[in-house]
């Protein structure tokens, strides 16, 4: 599973079922990155409203909502289609062990939050790409792409040091 998430300095991402911040430049950046990969983005109705009000709801965004649709079903849809899930106000605790890749937008602020990523969870990932840019509402924002470090199974050959992707150094 692949997610896009925006976190604050304390790894918080939601307070009282609301996103912490809404930054149009961050959303444009996110869609530009995914468009460049030809990847789809899956969102719930809550995220779709803000993308639409920013004029960013486009063909590569799939809204998973409607009568009888659970608020977290966009996560399963993204996983099934190998797309990205944009997490803003959904508790992902039950999905943490299924997340293999993340795009993390990190604000240079501290907000109230009741949903947070566990710090220990991030230790299982390595940074692939990192850049800093200015947003609409934030002077400094970090874009970080992270992938899960998978532990190798089986015996290691003595004297070899394997990398996370199985290559020898």
CATH classification at residue 53: 3.40.430.10
**What are the structure tokens assigned to 12, written together?**
């918080």
Q: Provide the pLDDT for residue 95.
A: 93
d(C-alpha 121, C-alpha 165), whole Å: 19
Q: Provide the pLDDT for residue 59.
A: 82
Assigned domain for 102 exists: yes
Q: Provide the pLDDT for residue 135.
A: 81
Mean local confidence (pLDDT), 12-40: 88
Assigned domain for 31 exists: yes
Number of domains composing the chain: 1
97 or 167, which is more confident?
A: 97
137 or 168, which is more confident?
A: 137
Mean local confidence (pLDDT), 74-97: 94
Instruction: Judge whether residue 155 has pLDDT over 80.
Output: no
Assigned domain for 52 exists: yes
Q: Provide the pLDDT for residue 96.
A: 93
The model's pTM is 0.82
Q: Provide the pLDDT for residue 160.
A: 38
Q: Provide the pLDDT for residue 166.
A: 45
Mean local confidence (pLDDT), 97-119: 90
Assigned domain for 158 exists: no
Q: Provide the pLDDT for residue 150.
A: 60
Q: Provide the pLDDT for residue 80.
A: 94
In sequence order, the 6+-apart residues with CB closer than 8 A to the CB of 116 are 7, 10, 11, 12, 13
- Residue recorded with tokens 């790894």: 11
Range(s) of the domain holding residue 65: 2-148
Q: Provide the pLDDT for residue 153.
A: 47
Assigned domain for 155 exists: no
Mean local confidence (pLDDT), 13-35: 87
Q: What angle do CA 139, 63, 39 make, to 5 degrees?
A: 70
Q: How many CB atoms lie within 10 A of CB 89?
A: 17
Mean local confidence (pLDDT), 62-85: 91
Q: Provide the pLDDT for residue 71.
A: 83
Q: How many CB atoms lie within 10 A of CB 23?
A: 20
Instruction: Judge whether residue 156 has pLDDT over 60.
Output: no
């Amino acid at each position: 599973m692949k997610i896009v998430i925006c976190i604050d300095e304390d790894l918080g991402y939601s307070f009282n079922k609301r996103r912490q911040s809404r930054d149009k430049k961050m959303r444009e950046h996110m869609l530009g990155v995914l468009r460049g990969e030809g990847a789809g983005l899956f969102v719930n109705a809550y995220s779709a409203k803000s993308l639409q009000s920013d004029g960013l709801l486009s063909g590569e965004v799939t809204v998973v909502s409607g009568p009888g649709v659970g608020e977290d079903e966009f996560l399963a849809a993204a996983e099934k289609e190998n797309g990205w899930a944009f997490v803003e106000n959904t508790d992902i605790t039950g999905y943490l062990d299924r997340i293999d890749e993340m795009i993390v937008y990190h604000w240079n602020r501290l907000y109230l939050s009741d949903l947070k990523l566990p710090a220990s969870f991030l230790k299982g990932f390595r940074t692939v790409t990192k850049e800093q840019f200015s947003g609409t509402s934030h002077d400094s924002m970090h874009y970080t792409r992270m992938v899960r470090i998978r532990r190798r199974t089986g015996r290691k050959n003595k004297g070899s040091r394997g990398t996370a992707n199985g290559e020898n150094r």
